[in-house]
Structures are given as structure tokens and as C-alpha cells.
Amino acid sequence: MPSGQPLPSSESSAGPQANRPGFLARVAWAPWISPAQRDDAFARQHGQDRIGVGLQWLFITGGLVAFTMTTSATEIALAPALVYTFIRLNNTWRTYASCLLQPALWLSVAFTLWGAMSLLWSPDVEHGLDELAMARVLGAWVILWPLIEYRRWFIGALCVGFLVGNTIQLLHALGVALDLPAIRWDRHLGRNSGWWDPVVGGTLLTGALGLHLPAALMGAGRWRVMGVAGCVITGMGILATGTRGAWIAAAALVFIALVVAGVHELRHRWSSPKTLWAGLVVIALTLALGWLVAGNLVQSRLSEAREELTRASEGDYDTFTGARLMMGRWGVDAMRREPITGVGLGGYAASVRAQLEREGKDPDTLPVHDHAHNTLIQIGATTGIVGVLLALGVLVVSLTSGFKGAPGERFASYDSGPAFALVGLVLAGGFDVVHLNSQTGALLGVLIVLCAGARPAPRSGDPFSRPAG
């Protein structure tokens, strides 16, 4: 996404922080990284290999657009960029010095190593290895960091990719309405998630909503218009998936964004309540248009939720909602049994079945799933308090640095979109295990990199632009 002119230094990292950042903000922004050495390392690659920079930029931006599509596309979208990253390594290796000093990367690696260690006590090592394979999202650091100066373009590429997914949802709706099998996907009646699985699509789009919210609520000019349009389209897409967890997460995200934007308005503008009006426009348009395209679905899904919650309160968990509540309860029980270490990566289902057998119950008569349908509970059940603390460390550091901004970035714009998107994924994680699904896990990894601290100032043009002067 192209950027405007850099802000004056007094506003360069405007965001919800005090003039003198606290201890956490200083740590998240990695003060041990020398800005001069970092900037020199990034400048060298432009002087040595301008064509290579341009080609790598194309591979990454194109990959990020494709990366938000189908599961198979996500798996291979950034593969060309990864291969070319290693081809260019002789010109980019200096930039990785600042990458390797990132606290979010340290914590992510520690979380992965602890998960690998937990295989020693896991009752299902084979499944644990499958879960450990999600550590490949750490490759996002390798791919994105040498060109992190083009972060705005990468944010734009993600937005374009999600809008392509929304277009596919529209095609699916037309395919259903006109009975055209070629442009529709196998989905439950009334649920439209396009080429995404409904739950995965709802989670992904909650993250996409976060990308647009800061521009919609706090931006100016065409960026605010684009943000509002993006929020409305994405919100309609979330409603169309029929994923109730995503509905709740998206509503919570909008509320949080309104509060943060309101505080930002008071601190930095003291002007008319534009944030409130922008928020009301986003909410009203989304609900009005969403009701037109998915009103019947929303009504039926809410009715189902009420019925399933009523049955669960009476002890009947043989429903979608009931099963999720049961999975979460079993996950909490696993945390209580092994609070420090957890039952081991991949061991959730096996430990639940073993516990049911010890209680004299037949696990084959109960819906024992592979995970707890809740990210935090799943991490706690399999890797214990240690895993939870490491995961929360990654989240806190990433959000702190993501909201802080680099010189030239604007908090009230798409620059802070990745941090809001990360909040959206975390909220959706209350109903889904975000880090274990290949698509949502991959988006999580990319957002963490885009929120990394001590990043260089953004470049305003694409790498094919003629250098100034």
C-alpha cells in the first residue's frame, strides 16, 4: 500500500503511549538494536542489488495476496519468495542481525522449543509432531524481514487477498442463487464462506477486519473511505460465514477499536467526535447490508445457539456448542492435572480419552475432538503454564511494538492495522485454535512479523521507483 509523506519527528510514532515509553515498550522495541547499523544494513542491499530487491518484493506481495486464499494456496504461496530469499542471501544477510535480536522472535522460538520438549511426555507423539510442524510459520521472519521497509505494501497485499476472498463469497452466492455448480462450494445450506472453511473463514476475516479498522475510525481522506468500505465488506463476509464465534470476536474487536480510537482522538486531536461517527457508519452499514444478504442465516444461527446453550445447561452436550463447551472443560481439567508442563503437544485427545476411561466412561460414546476449540486452553492443556506464559509473551511484545510504530508511521492509519488484526485473531481464538490451523496460523505468523519492534522507517515508493535525487 503506498504511503504518504513521513510525519514530523514529534508525531512519528504517534499511538496510545506516553511521551516517555515504559519498560515494556522499551523492551518490545529492542533498544539493544542499533538504528544506525540496522539502517545501514538495509541501505546496502538497495545499493548492491536493486533488481533483486524488486523481484523479491514481487514474490512477497504476490505471495501475500495468494496466501489468504485456499488452504493449498496458503501452503505454497510464499514458497517462491522463500526460495528467492535464499538466492539473495549474500546481499541481505546483514539485515538479519536486527531480526535475530527481536524479542518476539526469541519468545516464539522458546515457545516452539518448549513444545518440542513436551513431546517427551506426550501420549500421542505422532499427532504432536503434526502440531509441531506449525513452527514453520517462523519462516515468515526469514521471508519478510529483508524487505520489512515495504511493510505498507505487505499490509495492502493482505487486504487485497481478503477482498478476493470476499469476491469468491459473492460468486458462491450467485452460484447458489442461479444453480451454477461451477462457481459454488460445498457448504451447509445458507452458510457462505466462499473457498474457506466456515470457521477458518470467519477467523481469517476477523483478522482482516482489524486491518481496516484504524483507517476507518481514525484515518483521513481516501484512506478513511477505503477503511470504512473495507470494514463493511469484511463485516458482511463475516456474517455470511455463519460462524458465531467470529461474530462475537468481530463485535468485541470493533468495541475495543472504538475505545482505543476514542482515547487517541482525545490525546492527539481534541476535535469533533469523528471517531464516533465513523464507528456508527461502519456498524450501521455492516448490519444493514449484512441483514439484507444474511438476515435469515443470522436468525437461524442465533436460534440454534439459544437452543444448544439451553440443552448444555441441562446436561445435554450433543450439539456443536455443547461439544465445544465440553472440549474446553476437558482442556481445563487437563491443565489442572498437569499445570506446569501440560499433557504434551498433540496429547489433548489422548489424555481426555484416558481420563474418561479412568472415570469409567466409554470415550467412544463422547465427541472427543483433537483440540479444545480455544487457543489459550489448548496451549495450557498441552504445554502448561510455561507454554501459556511464552505465548502471552509473544502476544504482549508484538502488540506493544505493533501499536508503537516506526518513524514515519501513523497510528491512525493502516500502519497499525496488523496490531488490530492480531487482536482480532486473539479474540477469535476464544472459539478456535488459531495457531494449529495452517491458514490462521500462517496469518498469525505474518502479523507477528509485521508488528516486530525496531523496524526501519517505511519506504514511500515501490522498489521499482526511481530513487529521490
Q: Classify burial at 383, counting beta carbons within 10 Å of its beta carbon; exposed 0-12, middle 13-18, buried 19 or more.
A: buried
Provide the pLDDT confidence category of residue 158 given band limits of 50, 70 and 90: very high
Instruction: Provide the pLDDT for residue 469.
Output: 44
Closest to 417 in 3D by CA, of 137, 167, 223: 223
Residue 271 covered by a domain: yes
3-state secondary structure of 453: coil
Residue 143 covered by a domain: no
Give residue-wise pLDDT tens across range 179-209.
888 888 888 777 888 899 888 999 999 999 9
Give the chain's domain count: 1
Instruction: Provide the pLDDT for residue 278.
Output: 66
Which residues does 415 contact at the CB level (< 8 Å), separation at least 6? 151, 152, 155, 214, 405, 409, 458
For the four alpha carbons of 19, 25, 27 and 29, in that order, the dihedral sign comes to negative
Checking if the pLDDT of 262 tops 90, the result is no
Instruction: Provide the pLDDT for residue 243.
Output: 86
> The C-alpha cell of 329 is what?
472443560
Task: Quickly tell me which residue has 495452517 as its cell.
Answer: 438
Please state, rounded to an integer, the average pLDDT across all residues of the chain: 84
Quote the crossing angle between the two packed helices 79-87 and 50-67, to the nearest 10°: 160
3-state secondary structure of 264: helix
Range of the domain at 309: 102-136+151-316+368-450
Residue 11 covered by a domain: no
What type of residue sits at position 353? Answer: R
Residue 412 covered by a domain: yes
Q: Classify burial at 126, counting beta carbons within 10 Å of its beta carbon; exposed 0-12, middle 13-18, buried 19 or more.
A: exposed
Checking if the pLDDT of 99 tops 70, the result is yes
Task: Quickly tell me which residue has 463485535 as its cell.
Answer: 251
- Is-contact 320 301, C-beta < 8 A? no
Checking if the pLDDT of 45 tops 90, the result is no
Checking if the pLDDT of 317 tops 60, the result is no
Provide the pLDDT confidence category of residue 3 given band limits of 50, 70 and 90: very low
Instruction: Provide the pLDDT for residue 145.
Output: 96
Average pLDDT of the residues in 237-251: 89
Say what the pTM is: 0.87
Provide the pLDDT confidence category of residue 87 given band limits of 50, 70 and 90: very high
Give residue-wise pLDDT tens across range 364-393.
767 778 888 899 999 999 999 999 999 999
Per-residue CA distances from 279 to 221, 236, 255 (Å): 16, 15, 9
Closest to 432 in 3D by CA, of 253, 234, 197: 197
Residue 106 covered by a domain: yes
Residue 97 covered by a domain: no
Average pLDDT of the residues in 83-104: 93
Provide the pLDDT confidence category of residue 8 given band limits of 50, 70 and 90: very low
Residue 253 covered by a domain: yes
Instruction: Provide the pLDDT for residue 156.
Output: 95
Q: What angle do CA 399, 404, 408 make, to 5 degrees?
A: 135
Residue 169 covered by a domain: yes
Instruction: Provide the pLDDT for residue 15.
Output: 44
Over pLDDT 90: what percentage of the chain? 45
* Window from 124-128, 219-223, 454-458 with minimum mean pLDDT: 219-223
